[in-house]
Amino acid sequence: MSKDSASARVPSDCKSCALRPMVFYTTGTPEEAAGLAKLRRGVRVLPARATIYREGDLATEFHTLFDGWAFRYKLIADGRRQILSFLLPGDSISYQLMRSDRLRFSVQALTEVSLCVFEREALSRHVAERPVLTSRLDHLAAQEIAAADDRLTDLGQRSAHERVASLILQLYLRLQQRNLADEDSFVSPLRQQHIGDALGLTSVHVSRVLKDLRAEGLIGVDHERLILRDQPMLRKLSGIGDRGLDEQFH
């Protein structure tokens, strides 16, 4: 839907980080923020399309996305790609890395991104020693499983229009939770190929669906901004309805 993002912002310090409420590994107290800053190895800025993690590699680091968009994906032998989920600011590349040192998928930067980098084992110990953080980690891991179940339902049973409407609403609600969306719109770096690879559709099919949704007055596109013109109808079409944020794709 738009071009790649420009320059990615970088965090100053953990204590003043606006994304602290989004991450699972801190309770938000100033004392803990200071300890967390000591665990952080630093910040890494990567260009769009850079590989953040390659499937099967030994992971010695744990990354949290501070700015920009990324996505998890599986690559099929013939070069086809299935996007598993999109990562937004405040998301970690995978909660599984708190309990495993390898992942069965790859992670790529969709735009230029900035990452908070932690030593994986040290952060894992930090979380394991704090029951409230362990509980939060378990909750987020359960959300990932629920999101995978919903995506499987999308791919197996929902129409192309329902899939696209669902994805648009999921992204809007997640960005709204992070104060990165306006009342009825958000800036999207997604291209039709990204949407297609996430929803099992061709780029041509995605183009037709977006055209239909615009013609029906459900969405609008203004350069890089995607406008939700009729949220009630989008919710009805997507099947999301009035469920809370905790039930949306994470």
Per-domain residue ranges for the chain? 20-151, 159-247
- The residue type of 137 is L
- Torsion sign across C-alpha atoms 3, 246, 147, 219: negative
* Fold classification of 20-151 (topology level): Jelly Rolls (2.60.120)
Q: What is the mean pLDDT of residues 5-31?
A: 73
pLDDT of residue 242: 55
pLDDT, tens only, 32-48: 767 777 888 889 999 99
- Torsion sign across C-alpha atoms 32, 21, 116, 102: positive
Q: What is the mean pLDDT of residues 208-220?
A: 97
For the cut 50, the answer to whether the pLDDT of residue 105 exceeds it is yes
For the cut 50, the answer to whether the pLDDT of residue 116 exceeds it is yes
Q: What is the mean pLDDT of residues 223-249?
A: 76
Question: What CATH number is given for 159-247 in this structure?
Answer: 1.10.10.10
Reported as a pLDDT band with limits 50, 70 and 90, residue 181 is very high
Number of other CB atoms surrounding residue 108 within 10 Å: 20
For the cut 50, the answer to whether the pLDDT of residue 209 exceeds it is yes
